Structure 1
Amino acid sequence: MDDAARRLLQRLVRRIPAQTLKTTLDKWGRLKAAQRQSMDFTQSKWALTEKLLAICEENELTLKHIAELEMIHVIENPDRSMWYALQLMDPEDDAHSVELTQFKEQFKSHLSELVRHVSIKIKKHTDEAVWIRIAWGDSFSRPNHLKPTYVVHHLQTPYVFVTGLTSKLKLLLTQALVLSTRHQAIKDASLSGRKLTAIRDLLMRQYQQVFPTKYPSPLAESNQNATNPLIDKEQAELSANRHQMACEAFGSGMLPQLQSAVYKLETKFRDHMNKTMTEREEPLKCVVKFASTSLLESLRHCASSGIASTPVTPLLSSIPLKGRNYFVITDNGPGPSSQTRQPQN
């Protein structure tokens, strides 16, 4: 093993929790049964690293094999990075017929033409997602496997999810994606989050949605001994209507665990009592961020319980409706307008 493989393996063992390292190595399949049994996973990370390095040396494993181990860990634990969504645009007539082998060949070919030194590993996951690991180099340096980019794409869909992508490399990646998927353009989807499954389910509508109805079913009266049954009935109907409108805005059942939504305000300051701010030429700028362990669930509860007013404002209902969590609000229109954003590390 060369120094690059050693450094990658050392960092990888530090990142993987000891209780899951054994399972990850089993899935890797590069160690013999006797070698796996010889490892004591109760030892310190330093001792485990030294033992694993010795075994990999014995098996003559290379940087390519260690990158495979990292890819297994990332696929099994995708929520440790910030993911950004991209959307492919203007599909060509044969875009729907692109299959895995063709995509792999085309993607590797196009990206290798754009970057002289690049390492690409493509793997299809059990949920049909295509995972891509890219270690970038340039005309003079070898690929840096310590800072790879990961890409997730479901074939025959227009959505791509990336992490670890810098602005400098974005153009190269998107150009290869557009060519290999038979599309003509790609744009930022203005959606990001640490839970890959959440932003994927939101964009692909893989959660239970509720569509508007003029006749929501009223809640059954739960307390027959109420002092005023008319008031009790009215409150039950109001509660049912709030719940209906909350579900129409955000969906019902389990919702994607989106963790944040950002609203950027760019508008003129309006207050006739404050001429200093009103007469300034530059627009007033501020940012509002909503954060929660499950933002859509929190917003639905606020609307359903009466904490937030109903019908739900388009500023909030646009999150699931448009599949975005980044909005720019300007004076150009009555509703929230989205603006593309560059992925950042």
Structure 2
Amino acid sequence: MDARARSVLSRVLRRVPSRDMGALLEKWSCLPEDQLRAVDYTRPRATLTEHIIGLCEDNSLGLKHVTNLEMIYHIENPDQGSWHACQLTDPQDDAASVELVQFKEQFKAHLLGVVRHISIKIKKHEDDAIWIRIAWGDNFHKPNHLKPTYAVHHLHTSYVFISNLAAKHKIFLSQALEVATKHTSIKEGHLTTKSLTAMRDLLLRRYPQVFPSAQLRILKERNAPPLHPCIAQEHSELEQTRHQMACEAFGPGPAPKLETAVYKLETRYRGHGSQTLAEGEEFFRGVVRFSSSSLLESFHHCVASGVAEGPVTPLLSAITRKGRNYFVITDKGPVPPGQSAHRT
């Protein structure tokens, strides 16, 4: 085992809790069963890591095996690192017929043709997600396996989820995805989160949703906690309405666990009559960031409990409606002479 393989293996093993180490190595299937049964996973982490590395060296395992272990670890633990979404656009006529073998061939052929030193691994997961691991090199350096890019794509959907992609490699990956999926272009999705699961649930609509309806009482009876009879009689109509609005905006059940939503402001100070207070000045720029361990659940609770007034502002409901958590709010007033409008 060379130094590169040892470094990658050591990094993966340091990330895995001792209690999960055995299960991960079993899925890897590169070490004999009798050796795995003899491993004492209660040993100190440093000692355990060195012992497993020694077993790998005894079995002549190399970089190919180690990178496969890293992929298994990431597939089993998708909610780590930072992920951002991209959307494929303008599909060609035969885009719906693309299958896994064809995708692999086209994707690898394109990247191998434009990057001299590169390592590509593609693995299909049980949920039909295609996991891609890319270690980038260049004309003078071998692939850097300590900083690989990961991309996840479900065939016949328009979304790709990417982690750890350097700006200089973005054009190569974008072109390879366009060729392999038979799309004409790919655009930024303006959705970033630490949880790949939340990102997929939100964009692929894998969470309970409620659409506008006049049937408020059904939602109330099914989901709301019991109230004191007197309070229920006095406020039931208002509470039903708030609950309906919250469910329509953020769903009735567990919502995808996004941590942040960012709103970039490009506005001007205004006085009475919507007149700007400084017509000739530049935009006032700022950033508003909402943070929570489960942001959509927090918004749902605020609306349903009456902490936030309804109806839900489109700035918040757009998170689920558009599948984004980054927005730019621009000034919609008259543009001063000599200045261009900043709108997105």
Is the TM value for this pair above 0.5?
A: yes
Deviations 1:287-327 (A, max 9, x none): 00111111111101111111001110111011101110000
Q: Which moved more, 1:206-215 or 1:136-145?
A: 206-215
Equivalent runs, 1:154-169 vs 2, <5 Å: 154-169=154-169
User: 1:268-287 deviations in whole A, cap 9, x for unaligned?
Assistant: 22248xx9972553211100
Larger deviation, residues 28-37 vs 209-218: 209-218
Determine the structure 1 residue equivalent to 2:28. Answer: 28
Aligned-residue offset at 1:238:
0.6
Uncovered stretches (5+) of structure 2, i.e. residues with no partner: 334-341
* 2-structure distance, mates of 1:36, 1:215: 58
Between the aligned partners of 1:15 and 1:3, the Cα distance in structure 2 is 19
Distance 2:55 2:343 in 1: 52
**Deviation digits for residues 53-105 of structure 1 (CA, Å, limit 9, x no counterpart):** 22212211110100011111111111121100000000000001101011011
- Equivalence for 2:324: 324
- Would the alpha carbon gap of residues 97 and 223 (structure 1) be closer, same or farther in structure 2, given more than 3 Å must change? same
Which deviates more, 174-183 or 41-50?
41-50
Match of 1:118?
Answer: 118
Aligned residue for 2:129? 129
The 8 Å contact of residues 190 and 338 in structure 1, kept in 2 or not, is answered as no
Retained in 2: the 8 A contact 1:135–1:149? yes
Partner amino acid, structure 2, of 1:247: C
Structure 2 vs 1, CA of residues 215 and 35 (structure 1 numbering), >3 Å: closer, same or farther?
A: closer
What amino acid maps onto 1:180 in structure 2?
A: A
**Aligned pairs for 1:34-183 within 5 A:** 34-183=34-183
Asked if the contact 1:327–1:338 (Cα under 8 Å) also holds between the matched residues in 2, the reply is no
Q: Is the 8 A contact 1:271 1:278 kept in 2?
A: no
**SS of aligned partner of 1:81:** coil
- The equivalent of 1:268 in structure 2 is 268
Q: Secondary structure at the match of 1:269?
A: coil
Distance 2:249 2:47 in 1: 53
- Displaced runs of 4+ in structure 1, greater than 6 A? none
Residues 1:301 and 2:301 are matched in the alignment: yes
- The answer as to whether partners of 1:134 and 1:149 remain within 8 angstroms in 2 is yes
Q: 1:338 to 1:100 in 2, by over 3 A?
A: farther
What is the alpha-carbon distance in structure 2 between the residues aligned to residue 64 and residue 332 of structure 1?
55
Cα deviation per residue 1:234-260 (whole Å; 9 max; x = unaligned)? 411110111011111111112111111
* Conserved? CA contact 2:249–2:312, under 8 Å: yes
Q: Which amino acid aligns with 2:238?
A: L
Query: Any conservation in 2 of the 1:132–1:152 contact (CA below 8 Å)?
Result: yes
Q: Deviations over 1:105-163 (max 9, x none)?
A: 11000111111111001001111100001000001110000000000000000000000
- Could you say what secondary structure the match of 1:64 adopts? helix
CA RMSD in angstroms comes to 2.1
- The change in CA–CA distance for 1:56 and 1:288 in structure 2 (over 3 A counts) is same
Consecutive unaligned residues of structure 1, counting only runs of 5 or more, are 340-345
Name the SS of the counterpart of 2:217 in structure 1. coil
Partner of 1:254: 254
1:148-297 aligned at under 5 Å gives the runs 148-217=148-217, 223-224=228-229, 226=230, 232-271=232-271, 278-279=278-279, 281-297=281-297
TM-score in terms of structure 1 length: 0.90
**Alignment check: 8 A CA contact 1:326 1:338 kept:** no
Bigger shift: residues 3-12 or 113-122: 3-12
1:312 match:
312
Q: Secondary structure at the match of 1:287?
A: strand
Which residue number in structure 2 is paired with residue 11 of structure 1? 11
Aligned AA for 2:86?
L
Q: Deviations over 1:193-231 (max 9, x none)?
A: 01111111111111111111234228579555x3xxxx8
SS at match of 1:133: strand
Q: Deviations over 1:20-71 (max 9, x none)?
A: 1111111100000121123221112222222222221221111010001111
State how far apart, in whole Å, the 2-side matches of 1:284 and 1:101 are.
52
1: CA distance, partners of 2:276 / 2:182: 53
State the distance in 2 between where 1:290 and 1:316 align.
10
